[in-house]
Amino acid sequence: MKKGILLNSRISHVISKMGHTDMLTICDSGLPIPEETERIDLALTKGIPSFLDTLNVVLEELKIEEVIIVKEMKEVSPHMYDEVMKVLRRIEEKDNMQIKVVEVDHEEFKTVTKESKCIVRTGEHTPYANIILKSGVVF
């Protein structure tokens, strides 16, 4: 049995195939997912699993160097924005590195998701709780 924290075999498989700068998206339950992009749907009901729980677990497995978030999150869901920034700062401290944060408008974000290896849909009901994780390298 897998010893690591990430137990979802589909997410683990996607991460294992990712190379430098490949992207993985984690989204709330409302983000439209392009037909051509793999969907890993974790949503069970409102809030389960949460966006932040999913983000925290994925970041235990995936080394990132950059994230893309929706500009609107800062204004519409400031608490979520602050929590995401705390998670990123924790990862920076743990890995002794800097994570680039790129903010784009919601329409551009939806376009960029088409380049993701997959989109992980959560049960989150907080507006604009979406993030694209750009893979780094472990060396």
**Sequence ranges of the binding site:** 28, 106, 128-130
Which residues contribute to the annotated binding site for substrate?
A: 28, 106, 128-130
Query: Which residue's structure tokens are 């890995």?
Result: 95
Q: Is 79 a catalytic residue?
A: no
SS3 at position 121: strand
Give the angle 133-78-84 at the CA atoms, nearest 5°: 30
The values of phi and psi at residue 4, to 5°, are: -65, 175
Round to whole Å and give the CA distance between 59 and 38. Answer: 19
User: 89: how many CB neighbours lie within 10 A of its CB?
Assistant: 11
State the catalytic residue, choosing from 13, 20, 79, 125: 20
Q: Would you say 109 and 30 are in contact if contact means Cβ atoms under 8 Å apart?
A: no
Q: Which two tokens stand for residue 48?
A: 């389960």
Q: Give catalytic residues, as residue numbers.
A: 20
